[in-house]
């Protein structure tokens, strides 16, 4: 039996290492037509050439499909700011709660309901106002009755005063007559008559004073009754006015948009749920609107870090969630100069500074409705017809930008000159041609990962 000579251990390890490199350097398809005796020398030559050239084998000979690829394309470069917002009408007729206390909604039009001029949109509970009206009518009748009674009492008092005045005047005249008779009698009788005249005059003066006092008192009482009468009548008219405002009707034809009730639902700082029947409403609060659908805009909130990059007049690309098949174009026409605090986290005190923004839509769609959610892409920089690659395809080699360019089954690490970038793509100024395929990952790492998956 022939015995094979023992192999040198160092040579065996070298052959093993060379075999690994050979596996990375040449695929089996490359050696299919090479005689078996020439395969090993050819592998050694390939590996040696790669090592002398200072190239990583994995970067030039990654297995096919191990690293994801992308094609360098010619296109428009866009740098943008993204935000979320809502579609709003530029002009709307807002229906607000009247200046009536204790309002509660008992009837409310559906959101999106078409209405005609004069149709009832909101109806409030009028029971308390009807009760107040009954109470005011009773008060008016009570005051009127008091006024009639007071006038009758004054009439009787006046008549009594006139009788007392006549009696006092009569007593005075009689006393004077008796005094004139006393001139022909004794001096004592004359003195008594003079005293009686003085008493009668005093009584007359007292009667006149009482009459004047009664007149002043009656005038004051009548003024008080008149003021009370006017007050209850004003209260009555106010209640009648309240009752006349228990319904809000559509001033024009249109579509109803029910607004959010900020006093109920949602976390602190967030919009509440729309108004519903049974909700209590403070005076002056907006409940619904009838928007003018001929001019629409998008309202959004800018993050604090993006405020300095967005300017008036910039173009906005808008995608409405409810209309995914269409892209809308808008123009920024208003940015709030003051930050607004938005509280997040369900009342845990987390606040973010944001700047409200309006962008008017340039093209409309009959399906658009106020309140629809939308995504905004605000264009802050645009370069037409430039060479673009995904941002993931850009790497750094020796401190300079580089890309892995596919060349058959190999990848070439090539330095390039790049321009501006956004969150998805980067502009290539030189070093790459349109249509060339670039790796989105380091090919060597992708190959090693693919090898581990196979084993």
Determine the pLDDT at residue 447. 85
261 in Cβ contact with 96 (< 8 Å)? no
- Between 157 and 349, the higher pLDDT residue: 157
- For the chain, give the mean pLDDT: 80
Calpha distance 231→225 (Å, rounded):
10
Residue 271 pLDDT more than 60? no
What's the pLDDT at 146? 82
> 192-199 long-range CB contacts below 8 Å, 24 or more apart?
197/172, 199/175
Bridge partner list, 413 = 404
Asked if the model's pLDDT at residue 360 lies above 90, the reply is yes
pLDDT at position 264: 66
52 pLDDT exceeds 50?
no
Torsion angles phi and psi, residue 191, rounded to 5 = -65, -40
Residue 197, pLDDT score: 73
Note the pLDDT of residue 453. Answer: 74
Residue 309 pLDDT: 92
Long-range residue pairs from 10-15, CB within 8 A, at least 24 positions apart, any chain: none
Range in 71-75, 343-347, 370-374, 415-419 the model is least confident about: 343-347
For residue 19, pLDDT over 50 is answered with: no
- Note whether 402 and 396 are within 8 A (CB): yes
Question: What are the tens digits of pLDDT across the range 158-215?
Answer: 788 787 778 877 777 777 776 666 555 566 666 776 677 777 777 778 878 888 888 8
pLDDT above 60: residue 41: no
Confidence label for 28 from pLDDT (cuts 50, 70 and 90): very low
**pLDDT beyond 50 at 223:** yes
pLDDT in tens, 235-247: 888 889 999 999 9
pLDDT category, 248, cuts 50, 70, 90? very high
pLDDT in tens, 395-423: 999 999 999 999 988 899 999 999 999 98
Digit-coded pLDDT (tens) for 293-319: 889 999 999 999 999 999 999 999 999
Position 346 scores a pLDDT of 52
Q: Tell me what percent of the residues of the chain surpass a pLDDT of 70.
A: 78
Encode pLDDT of 106-154 as tens digits: 999 998 898 999 999 999 999 988 888 888 888 888 888 888 888 888 7
In this prediction, residue 171 carries a pLDDT of 77
Confidence band (pLDDT; 50, 70, 90) for 254? confident
Distance CA 333, CA 315 (A): 10
To the question of pTM greater than 0.75 for the whole model, the response is no
Predicted pLDDT at 224: 85
């Amino acid at each position: 039996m022939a015995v094979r000579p023992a192999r040198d251990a160092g040579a065996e390890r070298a052959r093993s290492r060379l075999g690994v490199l050979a596996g990375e350097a040449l695929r089996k398809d490359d050696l299919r037509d090479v005689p078996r005796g020439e395969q090993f020398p050819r592998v050694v030559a390939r590996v040696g050439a790669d090592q002398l050239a200072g190239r990583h084998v994995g970067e030039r000979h990654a297995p096919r499909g191990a690293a994801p690829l992308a094609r360098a394309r010619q296109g428009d470069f866009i740098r943008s700011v993204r935000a979320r917002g809502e579609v709003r009408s530029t002009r709307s007729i807002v229906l607000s709660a009247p200046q009536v206390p204790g309002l509660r909604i008992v009837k409310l039009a559906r959101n999106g309901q078409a209405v005609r001029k004069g149709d009832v949109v909101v109806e409030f509970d009028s029971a308390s106002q009807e009760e107040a009206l009954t109470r005011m009518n009773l008060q008016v009748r009570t005051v009127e009755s008091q006024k009639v009674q007071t006038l009758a009492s004054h009439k009787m008092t006046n008549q009594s005063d006139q009788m007392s005045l006549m009696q006092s005047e009569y007593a005075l005249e009689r006393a004077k007559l008796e005094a004139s008779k006393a001139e022909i009698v004794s001096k004592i009788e004359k003195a008594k008559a003079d005293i009686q005249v003085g008493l009668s005059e005093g009584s007359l003066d007292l009667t006149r004073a009482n009459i004047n006092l009664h007149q002043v008192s009656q005038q004051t009482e009548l003024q008080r009754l008149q003021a009370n009468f006017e007050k209850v009548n004003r209260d009555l008219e106010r209640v009648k006015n309240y009752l006349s405002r228990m319904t809000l009707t559509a001033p024009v034809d249109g579509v109803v948009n029910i607004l959010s009730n900020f006093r109920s639902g949602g976390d602190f700082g967030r919009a509440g749920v729309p108004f519903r029947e049974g909700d209590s409403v403070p005076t002056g609060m907006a409940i619904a609107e009838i928007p003018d659908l001929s001019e629409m805009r998008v309202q959004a909130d800018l993050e604090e870090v993006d405020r300095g990059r967005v300017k008036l007049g910039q173009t906005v690309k808008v995608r409405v969630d409810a209309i995914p098949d269409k892209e809308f174009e808008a123009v920024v026409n208003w940015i709030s100069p003051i930050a607004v605090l938005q509280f997040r986290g369900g009342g845990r005190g987390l606040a973010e500074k944001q700047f409200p923004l309006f962008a008017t839509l340039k093209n409309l769609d009959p399906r658009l409705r106020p309140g629809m959610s939308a995504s905004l892409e605000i264009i802050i920089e645009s370069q037409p017809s430039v060479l673009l690659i995904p941002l993931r395809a850009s790497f750094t080699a020796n401190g300079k930008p580089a890309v892995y360019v596919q060349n058959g089954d190999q990848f070439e690490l090539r330095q390039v000159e790049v321009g501006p970038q956004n969150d998805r793509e980067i502009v290539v100024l030189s070093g790459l041609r349109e249509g060339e395929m670039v790796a989105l990952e380091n090919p060597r790492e992708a190959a090693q990962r693919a090898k581990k998956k196979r084993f």
